[in-house]
Amino acid sequence: MIDSVLKYLSLITVAGAAISFVVGLVKYLDQRSREERTKRFEVYHALMRRISAFGENSNDALPLTQQVAAVYELQHFKDYAFASIPILEYQLIFYTERQSAQVLLTAIEKTLEALR
């Protein structure tokens, strides 16, 4: 019996180490994926704050160029299109009524087209 165990001891050791490595790798990849999703979520919300800056507090409005850049950057977040499209449609009406700069209106329209 002991001879059988000793015969397969190195194989058992290698298998145990391999299983431990695979489990550690899966945990690492899962944690990294979660961190990436969290960071992407934070970046998306930062963009939405920039886009919606006008109207909340008129003294804190962002420069037009930053708002336009943020609108175009939303095109990289198609996984959040379900939230972005209604907000951008509202913003398009909001900024059109206030006769905002055409560059902002164009950015919103093009981003809506890209997200649909």
For residue 48, give the nearest of 102, 96, 87, 97 by alpha carbon: 87
Token digits of residue 2: 């002991």
pLDDT number for residue 110: 93
pLDDT number for residue 60: 58
The answer, as to whether pTM is greater than 0.85, is: no
pLDDT number for residue 38: 92
CA distance 65 to 78: 22
CA distance 91 to 75: 16
Show pLDDT as tens, one digit a residue, over the chain (116 residues): 677 777 777 788 888 889 999 999 999 999 999 999 999 999 998 888 888 775 445 555 677 888 889 899 999 999 999 989 999 999 899 888 888 889 989 999 999 999 98
CA distance 75 to 58: 26
